[in-house]
Copies of this chain bind each other. A is one copy, B any other.
Amino acid sequence: MDKTKIDEATTLDAAEVAEAAVSNAAPKTEDLFDSTDAVRSGKPLAHVKTMTFPGPISLTNGGTLPEITVAYETYGQLSPQEDNAILIFHALSGDSHVAKHDENDDPGWWDALVGPGKGIDTNRYFVICANVLGGCRGTTGPDSINPETGRKYGMDFPSISVADIVDVQHKLVAALGIDRLLAIVGGSLGGLMALDWGTRYPDGVAGVAAIATGPRMTTQALAFDVVARNAIMSDPHFCGGQYYDKETGPATGLAIARMLGHITYLSQESMNRKFNADRNVGRKIDTSFETKFSVGSYLAYQGDKFVDRFDANSYLTLTLALDAFDLGSDRERLIAAMRRSMCRWLFVSFTSDWLFPGYHSRELVDAAIAGDKRVSYCEVKSDAGHDGFLLEDEISRYGELLRSFLHDLSLEWRPEDDERRRSLNESYGAPPKSPKRRVDYDRILALIPPKTKILDLGCGKGDLLARLKARGHERLVGVEMQEKYVVKCAEKGLDVVQLDLNEGLKSFLDHQFDFVVLSKTLQTIRNVEALLEEMLRVGTRVIVSFPNVGHRRFRERLAEGRAPSTDPKRRWYDSDDARFLTIADFEEFCAEKGYKIFRKVALDAETGETVETDENLNADVAIVVLGR
C-alpha cells in the first residue's frame, strides 16, 4: 500500500489536529501550511492488514463487484470470550489508521481518543478500523483494478450505498470470528454507518456511539456536495471518470471540492479566529489558485494537497452514498428504523457544527426515545465546527462520556456473571461517589411503585435515578441541560439526554412513562404551564417537588421586610429561582387547570419529618403526585 495515500486524518490532517488541540489561538503562519509529511515518520505504515472476499458481491443499487479487498488495522487484544471488540468507522476522507500502534508509529486521526488509557482504551478493548468500500486507502474502490478487465474501475465502479459500505465491514467482523461487537463508534460519515449497522444488524452490536452525525444530510450540506461533484465532473480532465491512464486527472475540480469541504468542516467563529488577524496577507505557495487572502492561500494549499492523496472517483462515489443516506425521511419512518435496533445508543453533537447540526442528532434521539430504546445524548459546547469531534479539547469531554458508555456496556454483557462485573469494575478505577442524601428523594422513591418506567426531568448528577436503578427499575431516562451533569450521569451508567426543559418534551410520546418527575426544578422554569401540560401528556402520573415559600421562615422574613430566598446558598440577585409559590398557590393552579392531586407529601426539610398540620405554614418542601 502506498504510504503517501495514508498521510492524513479525516478532515484535518494530523498536523492540524495536533495544532488545533494545543491552542485555540491563531496559529503561526508556518503552521497553517505545515505539511503532514513533515510530521510523519516516512516509514510505510506497518500495521495495515488486508482481507479479500470473493464475489460476485451484489450491491443495493443493483450492481455487483467481482471481489472486495478490505484494508484494516486492529489494536489491543480480543478477549477469549470475544466480548470486547469495538469497530470504529472513519469519515469521508479518513482511513484505517485511527491511532498510532506505538510511539514510533505515524499519528492516527483519532489518537486523542483511541489508545492505551484513552477514552477508547486499547488496554481493555479490541479495536478494529477498516477503510471504507469505495475509498482509495486500501479497500476496493474506483481506483482499484477490476479483476475482470485488468483495468482500474473508474466510473465503471458501481453506485454504492452506505448499506453496501457497512455490509463489507460486517463481512470483515464475521471473518475475524466476532459474532457480536461490544460497540461501534463512528463520526460524520462514520456516524451514518453506525446508524445503519445498529438498525440493520441489531443483534450484532451491544452499543452504538454516533458522533457528529444525523439521520440524513441537511439540504444545505447536500447542496454543497452537489456543487463539489459538479466541480469535479465538469473538470475537462475528468474524462468521464477514466482519467487514470491520462497525464492529468480532474485535479482542479477535486481541489475545489476539497476547499468547499474545508469551509463546511470549520465554524464561522473558528475561521474568524484563525484568519481574521491577517486576512489580507496572502501566502506565497506553489498553486494555480487565488492566494490573495490568508484564507484563500490556506484553501489553495489544502485543495492541492488533497489531490495528492485522494481519488476524485472515490470522492464522487462516497459523497453520493452519503447524500442518498436517509435513516427515515420523516419522524414515523425514523422511529420505525430505530425500533429495529437492539443496542444502547449514544449521540454526541457539537454546538458550532453546522454540517451535522445538533437538531439533527436530536431527531435521532427523539426517534430512539419514541422507539423505547436506551439512549444518551450530549451536545458538546465547542466553537470548532464539525471538526470538533477530532480535537483534543472536545475529546477531553465527550471521551469521558464514551469511556463510561463502553464500561457500562461491558458490565451489561453478561450481567449474571458477578465475578466478571467485579473484576471489570476494579480494573476500571474508582466508583462514583455516593450521592448526597436529599430528603425529598426518600419520599419520592416511596411514592414510586417497583418496575415502573420513570422520566426524571432536570436529573442533575443522576442521584435519584441511580437509586431507582439500584432498586431494579429498568426503564429510566434522565433529562438534563448541563453537559457536565450529563457526563456524571453516564458515570453512573444512566441514560440521560441533554435537553432544555423550556423547549418542552416533544422528544417523548404520549404516556410513554408511568411517572414523570420534576424534583426541585419547577421554581427555575420559565414556561411552567406548558411544561406541566407536557409532563401530564408524557406520564400517567407526575411527581413535582418544590420549595414552599409559604413556610413560616419565609413569612417571618418578609414580615421583617426581606424577600424570601429558598436556596440558602443564593440571594435574591443570583438565585437560579425564577418562580415563587406556596403549596396553596400550587393547589389553586392545579384546580384551575383541572389537574387531580393524588398524593401530597409536605416535609420539614430540617427534620425530614412529614408535616401533618397546616402544611402551607409548616412545610418547606412539598411533593405532589398529579394526574388528569
Contacts and interface: CB of A to CB of B under 8 A. Distances in A.
Nearest to A237: B236
Contacts of A274: 219
B226 A290 contact: yes
Interface stretch (A82-90, A336-344, A582-590, A604-612): A582-590
A211 interface: no
Interface residues of A, number: 74
Interface string A558-593: 110111100000011110011111111100010000
Interface stretch (A4-12, A291-299, A492-500): A291-299
Contacts of A299: 223, 226-227
Interface stretch (A115-123, A160-168, A275-283): A275-283
A529 interface: yes
Contacts of A293: 222, 226, 323
Given A549-B558, A580-B580, A295 B222 contact: yes
A436 B92 CA distance: 62
A91 interface: no
A595 interface: no
Q: Which of A223, A260, A585 has the most CB of B within 10 A?
A: A223
Contacts of A509: none
A441 to B, nearest CB: 24
A584 B559 contact: no
A272 interface: yes
A256 interface: yes
A555 B223 CA distance: 62
B562 A357 contact: no
B218 A272 contact: yes
Main SS class of interface, A: helix
Nearest to A218: B268
Kindly report how many copies of this chain are found in the complex they form together: 2
Contacts of A617: 561
B581 A578 contact: no
A563 B549 contact: yes
A528 interface: yes
Contacts of A564: 558, 580
A572 B357 CA distance: 36
A554 interface: yes
A179 to B, nearest CB: 35
Contacts of A550: 558, 561-563
A160 B114 CA distance: 52
A295 B223 contact: yes
A323 B230 CA distance: 25
B561 A223 contact: no
A231 interface: yes
B562 A572 contact: no
A616 interface: yes
B263 A220 contact: yes
Contact of A574 (B272, B528, B563): B528
Interface string A205-229: 0000000000010111011101101
Contact of A256 (B230, B272, B276, B561): B230
A129 interface: no
Interface in A545-560: 549-550, 554-555, 558-559
A219 B299 CA distance: 12
A279 to B, nearest CB: 7
Nearest to A532: B573
Contacts of A579: 572-573
B280 A223 contact: no
Interface string A246-279: 0000001001100110010010100110111001
Given A219-B274, A223-B295, 9 more contacts: A220-B272, A223-B299, A226-B290, A227-B259, A230-B259, A230-B290, A561-B616, A563-B581, A572-B581
15 contacts: A220-B271, A222-B279, A230-B300, A234-B252, A236-B236, A276-B329, A550-B562, A555-B558, A558-B564, A561-B616, A562-B584, A572-B580, A572-B585, A578-B578, A580-B580
Which 8 A-B residue pairings sit nearest by Cβ, starting from the closest?
A528-B573, A219-B271, A578-B578, A226-B296, A561-B616, A563-B580, A550-B561, A219-B275
